[in-house]
Structure 1
Amino acid sequence: MTTYTLSFANLAVPGTGSNAGNTDTVSGQFTIDFTNNKVLASSLTIDGVDALSAVGGSGGNIGTFSDNEDGTYNVGMTNLGSDYNFVMYFTGQNPTALGRIIYQSANGRSFDTGATSSNYYAPNNDLPAASAVACFCSGTHILTTRGNIPVEALAVGDLVVTASGATRPIRWLGHREIDCRNASAKIRPVRISAYALGPDRPARDLLVSPDHALCFDILGDALVPAGALVNGATITQPEMDRVSYWHVELEGHDILLAENQPAESYIDTGNRAFFVESDVVSFGAEAVARTHAGFCRPFHASGPLVEALRAQLRARAEALGWTLDETPALDLHLLVDGVRIEPIVRGSACRFQIPAGAREARLASSIARPVDVGQSDPRELGVCVSSLTLCDGFGADRQIDLSDPRLDHCGFHALEEGARRWTSAQTILPAEYLRDWPDGAFLRVELCGPPVARWIAPASRETLARQPFTIAMAKPSQPLEPTV
């Protein structure tokens, strides 16, 4: 069982009018039940660590905590009054600091509490969901006065060469290993393919965390997080089991050269405790005072500048030989207890045989994001399903209601007009359905809707890779000659 120890103090959420109701999603392997009226309180134990929690407000509070079965949990609060605080106290770990806590409600509204948490602990294989972490992946080459050095081979005091051509000593290094299996797009690293941003930019494939900002010169230098540039072609978020994230901190925020691509150095936004080396250095800055104003360049996560950059990167992908294909390439299959089962296909219907005693069935397929081909939908979409039916082959059928709320937490996207649902890369069939068919069953999947356009890779990217490109990147001065 994963251990989490959290303390959220005075997390007043704005915008909750009288008798408001919200559903906030948080990550972590724990369950909790609020039962009292005015001040909801409960106690629980996580791996031997005692915990107390409370929710207070001016209304007649009612709260519930439910498991989504996908690594996230929903806390539902009703009758919260005009304002409320969500306070959770855990004991048993040394206090550290974490950054801002942002809640996102079920209707898509985000609430930045402006508050910080304390007493936070997560094991080496988990990324704190409340913190944006900007890191390089192991193997990334950083330009130093000794040449291009893998980030994991750097040491405090090494001299890096910045995008301006200056040399600056490394002040601090931090790293952490992350379990990426079944991780969300907020955690999985972004791969910027070689030449995706211009000739020799990057010189090799560059892998960074989604929040790591790259530097571009468009109407002046600007920082844009890698996650905002994912296009499904030259910039992707590949599946991987584990990754080691690394930070490189200088005396101030600056622009490093990673695989010849300008990219930000570490700036402390309250997440230093996330790293293994967190007990080595503590510079004591207040998390609430850390804003993008402390960045060395203007920061843009969205807006016209980012959209213009995305359009130019799409043009670059097409120049490199990437093409759009709108024909189905579903690779639709069923994973039953880890064993792949191929479908029998007739028209738009696919039928899978589920063996007796099956405990888990995942409907898997290729995925695509409409946003990567110029649409506004950012979801990762698999196939569009109009019906799901289980049968035993002897006339006993059971149609799965696509409005079943259990599907909301099993990898299905929300029910759409016309009683259809999109799957994600791996959509889990609720276990209750399998238990009703202990001797095995057939699963019939009826598909509908047009396929999502996807990018097709060129046979070779070398021919056009070094052609001039119109994006004016943040260019370094002449780098220093490597010294031995």
Structure 2
Amino acid sequence: MTTFALPNLTGRSIIGTSSTLRLGSVVGKQAVSLSDANVPVSDGGSGTSFDNRAPGLALNYIICVNGAFPNSGSDSGPVMGEIRAYAGSAASIPQGWVLANGTLLPIAQNQALFALLGTTYGGNGLTNFALPNLSDTVVAGSGGSQSFGKTYGSNTAILSVSDAACFCRGSRIRTARGDIPVEEIQIGDHIVAFDDDVTKGTIRQVTWVGQSRAVVRKRLPDDEAGYPVRLLKGAIAHDVPYKDMLITSEHCLFLDGRFVPVRMLVNGRSIFFDKSIESYDYYHVETENHSVIMADGVLTESYLDTGNRFAFKQNGPVVLMRQSRNLTWDDAAAPLEVSRHFVEPLFRSFQSRADRVKHTGRSQAPFLTHEDGLRLVTETGRLLHPIRRVKDRVMFKIPAGVRSVRILSNASRPCDVIGPFVDDRRMLGVLVGYIELFESDTMTTLISHLQDADLSGWNTIENGAMRWTNGSALLPLLSRSVRNTAIMALQIHSAGPYLASDSWSGLMRLKVEGSKSR
């Protein structure tokens, strides 16, 4: 009635508000009472684990979208891209600021901010870019262990598909008692392993079972989003599997003496990502040694503990305190095989079988383009188009005072352009070699892209002479005259082909077609 309180941040971390954390809510615990009922004695056994997160307070994170450009010399007012914690409600955010909640902004109306953020936080880099999403997060300074824009840690653990090679509910595992649903398998059960004898098998004891839940992240490519892969009955051979099989994309099938990730066999007909499923439970079954086991009549793998055990809840009674074993594929029952020369014949065989047995799924060859869409964007958001192309050199005119540019281009993944049997999921833009900058009567060779492993927008350095961009790659121009224009020559060793839907022209075509249909 007469007073109000300021937020008490003593000993607390600021956490961005979200749908689960309301403005001003206190999260975490400063102290916890332990008893034999809640001390975790195994990998997520029947006891309830305790919460020892640092206490926090939920506030709004806001970002300046209309302020002074960094290093502009202005010493008053907010700076574009600046992030602040704000104790007011979302409805009362000051002008020029917006919630830092991952919103997509159009590049055309926010060129200066795009020059700062690029696609660090998402967006296609052609028509839009994303603000950082600080909901449910704590801001930490970048440094030696945390790079700019990288999200690390979470108050919710979501296992990525690269970590999850699992069975979905209903998968039937071959045991000494017959085929049993995976969700009913318990520690101590005996399952049949086929790595020693693929015709008769041997009995092995289950040493651990785990369960977790997946939620699909639709903004990612299908193989990374978390969609389960469905193998239709008979996709591999007659009655193999003997019913539809659902597994995660990284789960391996045992084929011709090797383990092959099922994502590399997706043909859109008999083996496909089931997009009707957006969340699901999945399960692990482990034996003392990694084993070839059978699920739904298909030879596949047991759990290989590569360090993700603690993301799972253990089913059944607690029988042992088992630490993560951090195994590798050197400890597997058979070699992992992802080479194209081995996987493509399998892919073609299953694809042909789908045609013969008339599986009803649809598979279309992707529409491709060889247009690279190459252009530059300055730190103020100005687009620069090529002025000349001579063999493998592409020339641009660089305005006076520009200290850095981003190399923009179309970009696609080889696994999408060529086929899933190619185990290359990098987003590839253009392969850049030497870069020369001609200014006044001097020529400078720019080499930061060939030396700085952490330079934004570049793929891994493969050799000392060239490097792939990811479609939006930062290029510092070092110290330049503020008065003179310059000519930049980019050496492009390779570019494309690209998915037409990933290209600038493809996006524009979709935009036009979408406007006509409304």
TM-score (structure 1 length as normaliser): 0.46
Structure with the higher fraction of residues in strand conformation? 1
User: Which structure ranks higher in relative contact order (CA pairs < 8 Å, sequence separation ≥ 6)?
Assistant: 1
TM-score (structure 2 length as normaliser): 0.44
**Larger Cα Rg: Structure 1 or Structure 2?**
2
